[in-house]
Each structure stands twice: as structure tokens, then as C-alpha cells.
């Protein structure tokens, strides 16, 4: 009985920590993005609110909260509000299966820094990822307006194309690790002393492309397309409802998919890996904290790389994007999968 209560309390604490960290960090990533974008364009970005604009997200939030909540005439109010929930919930739920570090012991309880170590963790991730398309399709439909509808249709087309590619891309690491549990995939990489990015560079590239497409980042931000569609499906949303969509799509989803990329390809919480030599940990002085720091560092690096791409590349056309998905990415991922499935059992074990 006592262990059940302890387990419950631990789970609640984990949920609160993950929710707080994810949503708080998500809000602050708006500032990071604005700063990165500004410096790439030789501007300083927000500088006035707080030291170097450090309180800008709070000011933005306050502004968004106090704005009028408009609703389009002839829109569907139920679907309109449901779309918000459908966007926020799956995106944050993905963090339930992301391992932040190795198992540790606190007050005699063994705690894994992962909310639920389910044995089909990756399947859950991609199931929830596919749910995101409902939010956008609903948002576009319920707004009863042209631009949102075009935007959401484009987004749906992209997600349908890239879901296939991303699923085939992650099958390479799955074959190598032999498990679907995210925690065990990282442990397998640490045991085998090899990040899977060294073995699966093609899969990694396909995964990165699909990540950009699924989260609507440049060069695949066709559903936003500021110049053509204003901001796509968020046109008819106002106030905090408007703030929530980019928060979810650009920050929470990018964070969760970067974390998945780190788990699958970059060895989760393990330190720097060099093939045939093993792990080198320049942060050994942090002791038991070092794995967590490594995980955060890797996710941050990946996120900054995505931002860097965003403010460098121009936008593709919708037909080019789907063409890349079906004609380049899917055959590459399939080829990679078949190659891995043939070679891995011979060489690997």
C-alpha cells in the first residue's frame, strides 16, 4: 500500500515538473527565437523589458491575456475550442515517454526520470504526433475563413506525407536497439558504446527533414507562409488562443521531437561518443548531474540548429515539399531500412 502511495506521489511530482518545465521553457523559447533571429539579421532583438529583454515573454503573455477574444461569425465554437485542446495535449503528452537521465535513488526509492517507461514508447510518440494534424485541420475548418482552411489543408498534406517517412526513418535505430522503449534505446546505445547517428546518418537526415516538416519550421513552413496566408490556421484566433498555437507548434513540438532525435540518434543522456573509442565526458566534475546536463545540452544544440536553419533558408513550394517527401525521403528511408535489416543481424550480434 505504501509503495503505491509513494509511486503516486512520485508520478504527480514528475508530471508537475515536466509540465512546468516544458511550458515554462516553451514560453521562454519565444525569446530565444527572437534573439537568434535578430542577431542573424544584425539586430539586437528585444532589449527594453528587463535585462536584454529577459522579461519579454511575461510582457507578451500579459498582452495576449488581456486582449479581446474574438470569434468568427458562422464559425463552429465547439470545434474551434476543441482544436486548441487537440493541439496542446498530444504535444505535451509526448514528454511522458522521454527519458531525461539514468535511474537514480532518492530516499530509498528508485526513480527513473521518465514519466512512464512503456515498452511501446516510440509508437506512442508517433501516434500522438499524428494526432496533431487533427488540431490543425479542426482549427482551419472551424474558423470558417479562407486562409485558415488553405493553411490547414497544406499542413495536413505535409503531415500525411512526412508521417510515413519519419516512421520508416526511426525503424533503423529500432532494429539496432531491438526495443521500442525510449529508455531502453538509450541504454542499448550506452551498452554498445555507439551513437546510432554514426550508423544511421541517412535515417538521421530523413528524421531531421521530417521534424522540420511536422513542426512547420522553415523550409517547410508552408502552412504559416506569412507572405501568402498571413499565419495560416491561426488567423481567426485571438488573444491567448492565438499565442497557444505557435507555442505548441514551434516550441513544444520542436522540443519534443528534438528530444526524440537525441534519444534515438545522439545517445540520450550519454556524453560525447567517438566510434571505436567510447564515451568521453568533459563534464565529469558534475558527478551524478552530468547525464542530465548532457541531455539538456544536446536538446538545446539541436533546437538552436533548427532555429539557425529557420532563419537561413527560404521556403519551398507545397508541391516541392510533397515531392521531396514521396520521391526522395521515403525511398531513402525504405532503402535504409532494408539495408539495416539485412546487414544488422549479420554484423551486429
Partner 1 sequence: MVKKVFEKPLSWIERILFIDFIKGLSVTIRHAFSKTITTHYPYEKLTPPKRFRGFFGHKVINGTEPQPGFNEWTERMKIEVIPGKSRCVVCYLCKKACPVPQLFEIDGKKVESGKKVVGVFNMNLMLCTFCGFCVDACPVDCLFQSDIHETASYTRKDAILDLETLERVGKDWQRRRDNEPDRIWIDDRQRERLWYENDVRLPEVKK
Given the rule CB under 8 A, which residues bind partner 1? Answer: 36, 38-44, 47, 308-309, 311-313
- 278: β partners: 274
Please give the Cα distance from 35 to 53 (Å, whole number): 9
Please give the Cα distance from 179 to 177 (Å, whole number): 6
53 or 291, CB closer to partner 1?
53
156 or 313, CB closer to partner 1?
313
The CA-atom distances, in angstroms, between 139 and each of 182, 216, 237, 272, 322 are 31, 15, 9, 42, 22
- Smallest distance, Å, CB 313 to partner 1? 7
Residues with Cβ < 8 Å from 255, sequence gap 6 or more?
A: 22, 25, 26, 29, 299, 303
43 or 77, CB closer to partner 1?
43
The CA-atom distances, in angstroms, between 264 and each of 11, 132, 145, 261, 298 are 24, 21, 40, 5, 12
48 or 227, CB closer to partner 1?
48
The CA-atom distances, in angstroms, between 161 and each of 239, 257, 327 are 32, 17, 11
Torsion of CA 64, 150, 214, 14, to 10 degrees: 40
- Smallest distance, Å, CB 42 to partner 1? 5
233 or 303, CB closer to partner 1?
303
Residues with Cβ < 8 Å from 339, sequence gap 6 or more?
A: none
Residue entry with cell 537525441? 262
311 or 326, CB closer to partner 1?
311
Rg (CA), the chain: 21
- Smallest distance, Å, CB 235 to partner 1? 29
41 or 66, CB closer to partner 1?
41
Amino acid at each position: 500500500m505504501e509503495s503505491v502511495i509513494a509511486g503516486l506521489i512520485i508520478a504527480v511530482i514528475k508530471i508537475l515538473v515536466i509540465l512546468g518545465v516544458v511550458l515554462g521553457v516553451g514560453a521562454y523559447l519565444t525569446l530565444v527565437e527572437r534573439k537568434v533571429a535578430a542577431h542573424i539579421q544584425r539586430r539586437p532583438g528585444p532589449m527594453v523589458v528587463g535585462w536584454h529583454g529577459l522579461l519579454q515573454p511575461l510582457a507578451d503573455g500579459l498582452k495576449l491575456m488581456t486582449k479581446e477574444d474574438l470569434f468568427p461569425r458562422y464559425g463552429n465554437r465547439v470545434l474551434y475550442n476543441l482544436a486548441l485542446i487537440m493541439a496542446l495535449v498530444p504535444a505535451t503528452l509526448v514528454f511522458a515517454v522521454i527519458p531525461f537521465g539514468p535511474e537514480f535513488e532518492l530516499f530509498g526509492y528508485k526513480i527513473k526520470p521518465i514519466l512512464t517507461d512503456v515498452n511501446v514508447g516510440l509508437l506512442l510518440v508517433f501516434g500522438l504526433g499524428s494526432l496533431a494534424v487533427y488540431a490543425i485541420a479542426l482549427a482551419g475548418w472551424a474558423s470558417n475563413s479562407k486562409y485558415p482552411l488553405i493553411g490547414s489543408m497544406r499542413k495536413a498534406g505535409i503531415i500525411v506525407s512526412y508521417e510515413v517517412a519519419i516512421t520508416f526513418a526511426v525503424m533503423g535505430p529500432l532494429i539496432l536497439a531491438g526495443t521500442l522503449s525510449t529508455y531502453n534505446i538509450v541504454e542499448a546505445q550506452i551498452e554498445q558504446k555507439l551513437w546510432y547517428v554514426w550508423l544511421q546518418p541517412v535515417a538521421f537526415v530523413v528524421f531531421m527533414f521530417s521534424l522540420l516538416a511536422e513542426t512547420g519550421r522553415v523550409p517547410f513552413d508552408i502552412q504559416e507562409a506569412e507572405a501568402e496566408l498571413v499565419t495560416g490556421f491561426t488567423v481567426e484566433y485571438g488573444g491567448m488562443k492565438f499565442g497557444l498555437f505557435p507555442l505548441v507548434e514551434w516550441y513544444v513540438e520542436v522540443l519534443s521531437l528534438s528530444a526524440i532525435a537525441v534519444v534515438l540518434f545522439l545517445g540520450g543522456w550519454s556524453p560525447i561518443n567517438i566510434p571505436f573509442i567510447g564515451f568521453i565526458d568533459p563534464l565529469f566534475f558534475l558527478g551524478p548531474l552530468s547525464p542530465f546536463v548532457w541531455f539538456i545540452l544536446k536538446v538545446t544544440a539541436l533546437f538552436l540548429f533548427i532555429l539557425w536553419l529557420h532563419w537561413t533558408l527560404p521556403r519551398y513550394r507545397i508541391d516541392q515539399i510533397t515531392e521531396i517527401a514521396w520521391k526522395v525521403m521515403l525511398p531513402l528511408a525504405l532503402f535504409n531500412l532494408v539495408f539495416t535489416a539485412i546487414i544488422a543481424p549479420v554484423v551486429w550480434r
